[in-house]
Amino acid sequence: MHNLYRKSLRLIAVVAVTLTLASMFIIPCVARIFVGYDAELLALTSRAFRLYALSFLIMGFNIFITPFPVASCKPLRTPPFPTKPASIDIVPCEVTFTK
């Protein structure tokens, strides 16, 4: 299980960096299709998307980590990896303190 966890995190890191770098280089070509008529708007659009593309670095980790709090509440019924990455299930845990 530990090996699967490490491989998954490594894969997410590689994909996140690849997507971020690819989007940084591709966006001027794509933005030119939609706003190529105005150079200032093209520069603004390219800069805005490059700032947004930085979120690709952490997005995969957020999707991967989401089920772990649920798994800590119900360890026998929940798999340790995300089975439905498109949905986010938030289940409150019951925490009791004893004196």
Longest dimension (CA), the chain: 70
- Check if the beta carbon of residue 54 is closer than 8 Å to that of residue 20: yes
pLDDT at 16: 87
The tokens for 49 are: 């998307």
More confidently predicted of 84 and 52: 52
pLDDT at 5: 77
The tokens for 52 are: 């947004």
Would you tell me how many other CB atoms lie within 10 Å of the CB of residue 84? 9
The phi and psi torsions of 88 (rounded to 5 degrees) equal: -120, 115
How confident is residue 69, by pLDDT bands cut at 50, 70 and 90?
low
The whole model's pTM is what?
A: 0.59
pLDDT at 88 over 70: no
3-state secondary structure of 5: helix
pLDDT at 76: 56
pLDDT digits (tens, 9 = 90+) for 1-58: 567 778 888 888 888 889 889 988 999 888 899 998 989 999 999 999 988 888 888 8
Measured between alpha carbons, how far is 55 from 23 in angstroms, rounded to an integer? Answer: 11
The phi and psi torsions of 19 (rounded to 5 degrees) equal: -65, -40
**Span 58-79, average pLDDT:** 67
